[in-house]
Amino acid sequence: MPSALIFIADGTEEMEFTIVYDTLVRAGVSCTSAFVSDDQREGELGSYESNPPFAKGSRGIKILPDTYFSPQAATPDKYDLLVIPGGAKGAETISNNSPIQHLVREYIQAGKYVGMICAGSLAALRSGLPKQPLTSHPSVRDQLKDNFEYSEDPVVVSGKLVTSRGPGTAFPFALTLVELLCGKQKRAEVAGPMIFPPGTFA
């Protein structure tokens, strides 16, 4: 069974997190969400307990992650896919995290997939990935366009790096990840019961 680690932080865009998590689970992918603290939250939390706190999303919706982010528990031998959602504040916290930057490089070097959506694509820049096709939310385009082959396609696959644009492209992004991990037939099996309008991306 393929497995995925999906990061979440305060300020993560809720749709980008939940649609990807839900769609992957429908495909039989074993998913784990990992809470990434910013400096302010770490000060408030004090010493970590076994259960992570609620992450407060970009629209104020509270989501309970499965676990705290631990670099030692997130290595490429443990998962087939890393996912970095957007949401300006959440994407900043995740993409500025040095251990996550290291993991992004490690996963790609190990031939594992890394998915980034919306402002989450900033992690490609912060991780020092080489110039290649990529997309993002328009709000961070100017930070990325000189270092990557910037595209406005809904989903861009560049080797093991998969990027997408925002909440409205979360379904094609998630279904692309399903196809890459599980094949085209599984993508069709998952998309069918979702009842997308005819002619859309499913």
137 is known as an active-site residue:
yes
Nearest CA to 162 out of 87, 93, 99, 80 is that of: 80
Do 82 and 115 touch, CB atoms closer than 8 A? yes
Specify if 200 maps to a domain: no
Q: Does residue 182 carry a catalytic annotation? A: no
Q: Is the pTM of this model over 0.85?
A: yes
Residue 51 lies in a domain: yes
Res 161: pLDDT: 98
Do the domain assignments include residue 199? Answer: no
CATH number at residue 87: 3.40.50.880
Sign of CA dihedral 52, 53, 54, 60: negative
CA dihedral angle for residue 71, residue 169, residue 156, residue 26, rounded to 10 degrees: 60
Residue 181 lies in a domain: yes
List the catalytic residue out of 14, 31, 106, 118: 118
Flag whether 36 is in a domain: yes
Number of domains in the chain: 1
Catalytic residue selected from 13, 106, 137, 182: 137
Determine, yes or no, domain membership for 201: no
Report yes or no on 41 lying in a domain.
Answer: yes
pLDDT recorded at residue 47: 46
Please report whether residue 61 resides in a domain. yes
How many residues appear in the chain?
Answer: 202
Q: What is the mean pLDDT of each run of 10 residues along the chain (202 residues)?
A: 97 98 98 88 52 89 95 97 97 97 98 98 98 98 98 98 98 98 97 92 66
In the residue annotation, 16 being an active-site residue is answered as yes
pLDDT at position 43, please? 52
- Domain extent at residue 143: 3-194
Per-residue pLDDT at 201 = 72
